[in-house]
Amino acid sequence: MSDREFTDYLGCRTLGMRDGAFTIELDLEPRHMSRAARAHGGVLFTLLDTALGRAVIEELPPGRGCATVELKINYFRPVQSGTIRAAGRCVQKTKSLAYAEGDVVNDEGKLLARATATFFLTDTLRQPDRERV
């Protein structure tokens, strides 16, 4: 198993916490485009899922993790080129769940997509596969 994360294969750069939000960015390339010659919605979804999840992890004690329970995304405008940036914020955390929100913007700061998500908080960053029932 590789030590590289999925987002590394996409070409994402982690910028870390900035102004209370976990931020990552991506320079769009042809491999990120849909057949309609714009960034595939799954690329924006991945950026948001990652930024929101990492924002939650930043709020946890070292060694703990989270898993996405649900994520809702709204797409507002297409993007064909440039650098896109996702920023996620942990808004609420309980003993077992966290709620986060985030945006993806283009080079000009125009809103491309917005997401809200719920995460299950785990005792460890990595969990073994569960046995099938």
Q: Residue 52 belongs to a domain with what CATH number?
A: 3.10.129.10
Tell me the whole-structure pTM to 2 decimals. Answer: 0.91
Q: Is 130 a member of any domain?
A: no
Q: Is 129 a member of any domain?
A: no
Q: With 90 as the cut, is the pLDDT of residue 5 above it?
A: no
For the segment 53-83, what is each residue's pLDDT rounded down to a tens digit?
A: 999 999 999 999 999 999 999 999 999 999 9
Is residue 101 within 8 Å of 88, Cβ to Cβ? yes
Q: 59-63 contacts: CB < 8 A, separation 24 or more?
A: 59/90, 59/93, 59/98, 60/121, 63/124, 63/125
Its domain, for residue 67, covers 6-122
Q: Is 132 a member of any domain?
A: no
Q: Is 28 a member of any domain?
A: yes
